């Protein structure tokens, strides 16, 4: 089976390629850039260029039975700063791509959405797929719109669509010197011996899921027959930022004293979100394998190999 990963040279995509190749799939990637932290993988056909290129995307789609769509140019903060750009940079390219995929006869499209943003403030925990979707942030609104366009095309074309609402992903090859993803960012601050910036009082709770576990969920979404639904992908366990900092302190030891810089909570930050992934367990046969402490340790071992900017 030939699978095209759109955005496959990014952090999550790099782990998908590993899992897909190990399972024997034929893998192609459409991305603007090459991987940042390692050379190109043997056996992966790469199409490098802009997703809006009307000649490149159809060539990348040629022969692809399944597409995994990861492409995103924004994070919650940048979406909030410029919501118009979020629509232009993410929604519009998806709509063009869906047209090309339909004409090329793609059988299934797997879309990674945001389980932490599309639901909005939860009324119950853990949050199941039947929970109302009332996002309060631009990032979540656009992700939900993208979901709906994908599901609508599937309903009218006879193709299959699988939406994975993924919780907070972390792991190796996530930029530790950027500003997105608390585990990686906090570890990057530790490596540079800089203060960790915490928005709010540290009680914000998230469901952190290791990247290699996400890759296995995507593999299941690609290969399981009759997978046509919306699935939460998380651990079902919540950890506060204070919990995460405690795990990081235990991981890095006394050689790296952590300093915390406290800032006011951001308006778009949901106080607590934990996902119920029981549907994915039943229908995809997937469950997370990696405890947060183990994943943080593995991520730290990787971060320590990087030169600090």
User: pLDDT for 176-231, tens place per residue?
Assistant: 998 889 999 999 999 999 999 999 999 999 999 999 999 999 999 999 998 889 99
pLDDT confidence of residue 255: 62
CA distance 147 to 160: 13
State the angle between helix axes of 292-303 and 241-252 in degrees (0 to 180), rounded to the nearest 10. Answer: 60
pLDDT confidence of residue 258: 83
CA distance 169 to 14: 13
* 136 within 8 A of 120, measured Cβ to Cβ: yes
Percent of the chain predicted with pLDDT > 90: 89
Over range 236-248, report the average pLDDT: 97
pLDDT confidence of residue 77: 86
Say whether pLDDT at 6 is over 90.
yes
What does pLDDT average to over the chain? 95
Lowest-pLDDT choice from 22-26, 136-140, 206-210, 252-256: 252-256
pLDDT confidence of residue 177: 93
Over range 156-184, report the average pLDDT: 95
Of the candidates 150, 52, 48, 138, the residue with the CA atom closest to the CA atom of residue 93? 52
Domain 2-169+210-234+274-289 belongs to what topology?
Rossmann fold (3.40.50)
Token reading at 78 = 């940048």
Percent of the chain predicted with pLDDT > 70: 99
Domain residue extents for the chain: 2-169+210-234+274-289
Give DSSP secondary structure letters for the chain: -EEEEETTTSHHHHHHHHHHHHTT-EEEEEESS--SSSPPPTTEEEEES-TT-TTHHHHHHTT-SEEEE------HHHHHH-HHHHIIIIIHHHHHHHHHHHHHT--EEEEEEETTTSS-S-SSSSBPTTS-----SHHHHHHHHHHHHHHHHHHHHS-EEEEEEE-EEE-TTS-TTSSS-HHHHHHHHHHHT-PEEEESSS--EE-EEEHHHHHHHHHHHHHSTT--SEEEES-S--EEHHHHHHHHHHHH-TTS---EEEEPPPTT--SB--B--HHHHHHH-------HHHHHHHHHHHHTTSPP-
Over range 247-270, report the average pLDDT: 87
- For residues 292 and 77, which has the higher predicted lDDT (pLDDT)? 292
Q: What is the pLDDT of residues 56-98, one digit of tens each?
A: 999 999 999 999 999 998 888 889 999 999 999 999 999 999 9
Say whether pLDDT at 257 is over 80.
no
What is the model's pTM?
A: 0.96
């Amino acid at each position: 089976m030939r699978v095209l990963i759109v955005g496959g040279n990014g952090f999550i995509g790099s782990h998908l390629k590993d899992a897909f190749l190990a399972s024997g799939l034929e893998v192609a990637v459409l991305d603007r850039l090459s991987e940042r932290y390692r050379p190109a993988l043997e056996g992966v056909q790469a199409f490098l260029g802009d997703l809006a290129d009307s000649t490149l995307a159809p060539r990348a789609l040629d022969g692809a039975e399944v597409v995994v769509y990861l492409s995103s140019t924004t994070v919650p903060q940048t979406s909030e700063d410029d919501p118009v750009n979020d629509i232009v940079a993410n929604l519009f390219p998806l709509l063009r791509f869906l047209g090309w995929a339909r004409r090329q006869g793609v059988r299934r499209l797997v879309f990674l959405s945001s389980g932490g943003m599309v639901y909005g403030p939860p009324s119950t925990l853990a949050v199941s797929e039947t929970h109302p979707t009332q996002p309060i942030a631009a990032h979540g609104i656009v992700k939900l719109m993208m979901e709906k366009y994908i599901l609508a095309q599937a309903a009218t074309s006879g193709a299959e669509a699988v939406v994975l609402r993924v919780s907070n992903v972390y792991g190796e090859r996530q930029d530790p010197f950027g500003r997105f993803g608390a585990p990686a960012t906090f570890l990057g601050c530790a490596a540079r011996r800089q203060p960790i910036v915490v928005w709010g009082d540290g009680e914000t709770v998230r469901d952190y899921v290791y990247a290699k576990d996400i890759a296995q969920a995507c593999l299941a979404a690609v290969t399981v027959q009759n997978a046509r639904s919306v699935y939460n992908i998380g651990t079902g366990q919540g950890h506060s930022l204070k919990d995460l900092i405690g795990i990081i302190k235990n991981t890095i030891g006394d050689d790296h004293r952590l300093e915390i810089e406290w800032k006011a909570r951001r308006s778009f930050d949901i106080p607590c979100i934990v996902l119920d992934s029981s549907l994915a367990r039943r229908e995809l046969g997937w469950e997370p394998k990696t405890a947060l402490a183990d994943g943080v340790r593995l991520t730290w071992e990787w971060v320590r190999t990087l030169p600090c900017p």
